Amino acid sequence: MFSRLVPLLFAALLTLSACGDGGPDEGTQAAGIAVADAWVKATDADMSAAFMVLSNSAEKDATVVGVTTDLTDSAELHETKDDMMRPVDSFTIPSMDSLMLEPGGDHVMLMDLADPIEPGQEITFTLEFDDGSTFDVTATAKDFAGGDEDYEGGKGHEDHEDLEDHEGH
Number of residues that bind Cu ion (CB under 5 A): 3
User: Which residue, 31 or 85, has its beta carbon nearer to Cu ion?
Assistant: 85
Q: Is 85 in the site for Cu ion (CB under 5 A)?
A: yes
Query: d(Cα 93, Cα 75) in Å, to the nearest integer?
Result: 19
Query: d(Cα 72, Cα 74) in Å, to the nearest integer?
Result: 5
Q: Binder to Cu ion among 78, 110, 141, 144 (CB under 5 A)?
A: 78
User: Which residue, 16 or 84, has its beta carbon nearer to Cu ion?
Assistant: 84
Q: Is 50 in the site for Cu ion (CB under 5 A)?
A: no
E-state strands within the chain:
33-41, 48-56, 62-69, 74-81, 84-87, 91-93, 97-101, 107-111, 122-129, 134-142
Q: Binder to Cu ion among 33, 54, 101, 109 (CB under 5 A)?
A: 109
Query: d(Cα 161, Cα 166) in Å, to the nearest integer?
Result: 9
Q: Is 113 in the site for Cu ion (CB under 5 A)?
A: no
45 in Cβ contact with 11 (< 8 Å): no
| Residue 84 Cβ vs Cu ion, minimum distance, rounded to whole Å | 10
Binding site for Cu ion (CB under 5 A): 78, 85, 109
